[in-house]
Amino acid sequence: MDVLYFAWVRERIGLPKEKVETEAATVNDLVAELSAREDRYAAAFADLSALRVALDQELSDFDASLAGVREVAFFPPMTGG
Amino acid sequence: MRIAVQEEEFDLGAESNDFAAQDTANGAIVTFTGVVRDMAEGDLDVMEIEHYPGMTERAIAKIAREAKLRWSLGDVLVIHRYGRLAPGDRIMMVATAAPHRKDAFEAAEYLMDYLKSRAPFWKKEITTSGAEWVAAKDEDEDALTRW
């Protein structure tokens, strides 16, 4: 699946988008998998209360299932307007 | 309903005129314009706005559709810019047209409240002393509870 990062999450991880091969069942599982890879991921995902997640471009939750999901995005709370 | 997510400037006068020149059943038109503000320190050079192409348009369309369900609206316009903006630049505008002003005002406020914390934009302030991402405010999230 495609995993996208925005704002300071993108800066901390160091890339805007990557393809991830994963068997993760939920967003939380994917976060754990990514965090175990390298420190920069662990740093970005250290405080999930400061993060939001979108699944296929719809705002979702960290305990949501990844079944059938093609695109996951992680970002801080939005500041539009 | 028109939604535009764009890097280039928009012409506030022309957009307002075009929006107003429509269905004569709408007796009330409300427009709101957001402008890049230089904070108290007065040292803002650039406001960088990042967004999530694809999700941004979907999220705004969803918010606008919800507004049309809640209020009696003739039309809705949302323009939101991204990229590098300077203090005084217009960031975005919202316009609502309705038979009556209460619907137009309330729907415009609703759109603004939701655009602030449910449309995937992120602002970064670049000042003479460095760059910092603008943090979301609790009051912006709280503002949604009144709807």
**Residues in chain A closer than 8 A to B108 (CB atoms):** none
- Which of A54, A58, A78 has the CB atom closest to B136's CB atom? A78
Question: How much is the pLDDT for B40?
Answer: 65
Which sequence spans correspond to the domains of chain A?
A: 2-75
- Would you call B52 and A81 a contact, using CB atoms and an 8 Å cutoff? no
- Would you call A75 and B54 a contact, using CB atoms and an 8 Å cutoff? no
**Could you tell me which residues are beta bridge partners of residue B98?**
B28
Fold observed for domain A2-75: Ubiquitin-like (UB roll) (3.10.20)
Q: Measured between CB atoms, does A79 come within 8 Å of chain B?
A: yes
Task: Flag residues of chain A having pLDDT under 70.
Answer: none
DSSP state of B9: -
* Range in B52-61, B90-99, B126-135 with the lowest mean pLDDT: B126-135
Question: How much is the pLDDT for B59?
Answer: 97
| pLDDT at B141 > cutoff 90 | no
CATH number, residue B118: 3.90.1170.40
Rounded to the nearest angstrom, the minimum Cα separation between B140 and chain A is: 9
**Could you tell me which residues are beta bridge partners of residue B48?**
B84, B124
- Would you call B121 and A8 a contact, using CB atoms and an 8 Å cutoff? no
The answer to whether residues B72 and B98 touch, using CB atoms and an 8 Å cutoff, is yes
Chain B: residue nearest A54 by CA? B55
Q: Residues 6 or more apart from A44 whose CB is under 8 A from it?
A: A5, A9, A12, A13, A74
Query: β-strand A71-75 against A2-5: which pairing, if any?
Result: parallel
Question: How much is the pLDDT for A37?
Answer: 95
Give percent of chain B with pLDDT exceeding 90: 81
- Would you call B135 and A79 a contact, using CB atoms and an 8 Å cutoff? yes
Domain count, chain B: 1
Mean pLDDT of chain B: 94
Cα–Cα distance between B1 and A59 in angstroms, integer?
A: 23
Question: How much is the pLDDT for B39?
Answer: 72
- Would you call B118 and A81 a contact, using CB atoms and an 8 Å cutoff? no
Question: How much is the pLDDT for B122?
Answer: 98
Q: Answer with the residue of higher pLDDT: B43 or A39.
A: A39
Cα–Cα distance between B81 and B115 in angstroms, integer?
A: 12
Domain that holds residue B97: 2-146
Chain A: residue nearest B33 by CA? A81
pLDDT for B75-113, tens place per residue?
A: 999 999 999 999 999 999 999 999 999 999 999 999 999
Length of chain B: 147
Question: How much is the pLDDT for B42?
Answer: 77
| pLDDT at B131 > cutoff 90 | yes
